Amino acid sequence: MNDRTKSRHHIVTVPALAAVALLCVLLMIPHTAYPLLYSPKMDAETALHDRVSVLRQVSQDNSAVVLPLMEDIFSSSGTLVLNLELKDFTAAERDLDEYLARSRQFDNLVIRLEMSQSDLEEWRRLNALNKEDLMALFEDTQRFSDLKRLEIEYRDADDPDMLYSIMYEGEALRSKIKETIASYEGRSEEMIAVSRQFEVKTDPYEQSIEDARDIEESVEEEQEVRSATIQQEIPRKEPLRVHLGIEPPEVGYGDTLTISGRVSGTDLRIVSLTLDSRNFLDLSAATDGTFLHREQIDRIRTGMHTLYATVDGAYSEVRSFRVIRSETHVTLQHAGGTQVTGRLMAGDRPVFGAPIRILSAGRQIGTPTTGADGRFAATLKLSPGTHQIAAIFDDAAYPLERSESKEVVIVVVPQNDQENKPIDHYLLFIIVALCVAGAAGFFYLKRRPKGAVSAPSEAFTPQEEGPLPEKGENDEIREEDAEDETISSEPAMQPADPALEAYQQVQESDYPSALRFLFGALAENAGIQNPLTATAGDLRWRCPEDARLHAWLTLYERVLYGRHLPDHDERRWFEEAYLLIRGDRL
């Protein structure tokens, strides 16, 4: 009985295995050309797994994040100007760092969330101009405050030449501070009007304008007293004279500024030029005392600048000139592989030595520098997948407008696809081997002699073989072990998590967007009706006592809005904390 049972079992098993092998081969064939098991196309088929581009369109209504950030920017600028008025430069430096950080965060949000409304873009442009003025105001007022200490030191050292330099430096700084405050105040009406369209409170910004006027009055009074005192204590050297002229009074990027003058009353011919209170250039005057220098405008801040000349303790008049901002145009092309090239132009003039920021999904992935012809090139480190790349120029050190290139699409093929020939051969070998094995089993069973396993005869009965042996204790144990092995061999069915699968698929190419999948699942799990438009604040309000969720959301906001790129441990924490929050067993 046992031999016949085994033979019958053998007859059934071999065809079954052959059928299963053929079924596996048939299922594998459609995926051999494109082995991707999870794609963005699959994501778009459910409400939870929306495509990244659709997520961004839905995320345009981000007033809960953007509008408070605009008010924080105004608040930081207000405290910054107030501390400058109080001459607390340590606190003012902290305020300036906070203001710059929030401004960068706002700019990144506008770019990342594709908030291209004209009013919001205008607010960003005006804030960029305010940023330049506040940075210049901090630097100039701090330098002007230091003059009082230097004046005391030079008076105690009985150094009249340095006292005159302090007086002239104060004149130059007074002119710059006055120009900066006028620029800051001049765009206030436009800034307030745009802000009120978004119902943003402008009280701190308006107060900062009043405080800036107080700074200007204080600087004017202090400099008038300084100049009168020094001129009274130290008369001018006679007949030594230095005359200085500047042409033209207004220049842009690439223009030439002509500096000329004449020295009389001395045989010395070394003329020192001081630009914006800093030593700029030393010139040698001709035998008749004349000097000339032509300076091409490139890396210099926009706005008003001051210049004066000194020779042997004699000072020229303080001259000023204005640098205006020029429009720029940046282009970007795909040069093959992961290489990109481009060019930065200011009108018909190439921009030399300028840093270019290469972005992918709002994340900076390259910083090439332009050459003498304005061209740049970069080899990018990109993960497999499709990437939208853009080039941005926004360096405030140049008198140039911000510009952004059109997006370029780069498709990075996985390494396995680049080496598809060996893989195709390997898959072909496996398919052929399985087909041969299945066919061999089929023909073996078909051609097997019919008498190899005979049917039981009518005369054959179980009584003729005698009673079956009783089961022993060991037999029962073996049967229980067999049942355990059968149960344990079947894979445990765990509920699939589409959000986690989408996260793992996208995380290498666009990690912030990958986190949006997990966030959407948490929002849906918390009972929010429309997870796609939910914010971290909505989820905190819905689950006020979930400390683990609040910690997850804090790091999530750092990644999404603060441009923080998590390392391997942080990414693993994201997944584990997500599963704990969802209630899954790790």
Kindly report the CATH class assigned to 329-412.
mainly beta
Q: What is the pLDDT of residue 251?
A: 94
Q: What is the pLDDT of residue 497?
A: 78
Residues 73-90 pLDDT 10s = 999 999 999 999 999 999
Query: Residue 530: which pLDDT band, with cuts at 50, 70 and 90?
Result: confident
- C-alpha distances out from residue 466 to 6, 129, 421, 496, Å: 20, 105, 64, 54
What percent of the chain has pLDDT above 90? Answer: 30
**Is 259 exposed, middle or buried, given 0-12, 13-18 or 19+ CB atoms closer than 10 A?**
buried
State the average pLDDT over residues 530-536.
Answer: 77
State the average pLDDT over residues 370-391.
Answer: 93
Judge contact between 387 and 409, C-beta under 8 A: yes
Q: Do domains 236-325 and 329-412 have the same CATH topology?
A: yes
365 membership: H or E segment, kind and range: strand 363-366
**Distance from the Cα of residue 405 to its chain's centroid:** 16
Q: What is the pLDDT of residue 204?
A: 92
Query: Residue 400: which pLDDT band, with cuts at 50, 70 and 90?
Result: very high
Residue 55 has pLDDT above 70, yes or no: no
Q: What is the pLDDT of residue 58?
A: 35
- C-alpha distances out from residue 522 to 40, 176, 497, 576, Å: 20, 54, 12, 13
What percent of the chain has pLDDT above 70? Answer: 74
| Cβ atoms within 10 Å, residue 405 | 22
Residue 116 has pLDDT above 60, yes or no: no
Point out the least confidently predicted range of 24-38, 152-166, 311-325, 565-579: 24-38
Judge contact between 134 and 174, C-beta under 8 A: no
Query: Residue 493: which pLDDT band, with cuts at 50, 70 and 90?
Result: very low
Residues 323-380 pLDDT 10s = 998 999 999 999 988 999 999 999 999 999 999 999 987 788 999 999 999 999 999 9
Residue 385 has pLDDT above 60, yes or no: yes
Q: What is the pLDDT of residue 301?
A: 83
Residues in CB range of 86: below 8 A, 6 or more apart? none
State the average pLDDT over residues 268-282.
Answer: 87
Query: Residue 159: which pLDDT band, with cuts at 50, 70 and 90?
Result: confident
Q: What is the pLDDT of residue 435?
A: 74
- C-alpha distances out from residue 106 to 115, 130, 164, 406, Å: 11, 14, 45, 21
Tokens 């079954």, residue? 16
Residues 419-450 pLDDT 10s = 444 545 556 667 777 777 667 666 655 555 44
State the average pLDDT over residues 266-274.
Answer: 88
State the average pLDDT over residues 215-239.
Answer: 84
State the average pLDDT over residues 182-209.
Answer: 90
Q: Reply yes or no: is the peptide bond before residue 399 cis, omega within 30 of 0.
A: no
State the average pLDDT over residues 115-121.
Answer: 61
- C-alpha distances out from residue 345 to 75, 253, 354, 356, 389, Å: 36, 11, 10, 12, 19
Q: Which residues of 543-573 are buried (b: 16+ CB within 10 A; e: fewer)?
A: beebeebeebbebbbebbbeeeebeeeebee
- The answer regarding whether domain 236-325 maps to CATH 2.60.40.1930 reads yes
pTM: 0.51
Q: Mean pLDDT for the chain?
A: 78
Radius of gyration of the chain (CA): 39
Query: Residue 45: which pLDDT band, with cuts at 50, 70 and 90?
Result: very low
State the average pLDDT over residues 463-475.
Answer: 45
Q: Are strands 303-311 and 270-275 parallel, antiparallel or unpaired?
A: antiparallel
Per-domain residue ranges for the chain? Answer: 47-234, 236-325, 329-412, 498-582
Q: What is the pLDDT of residue 125?
A: 84
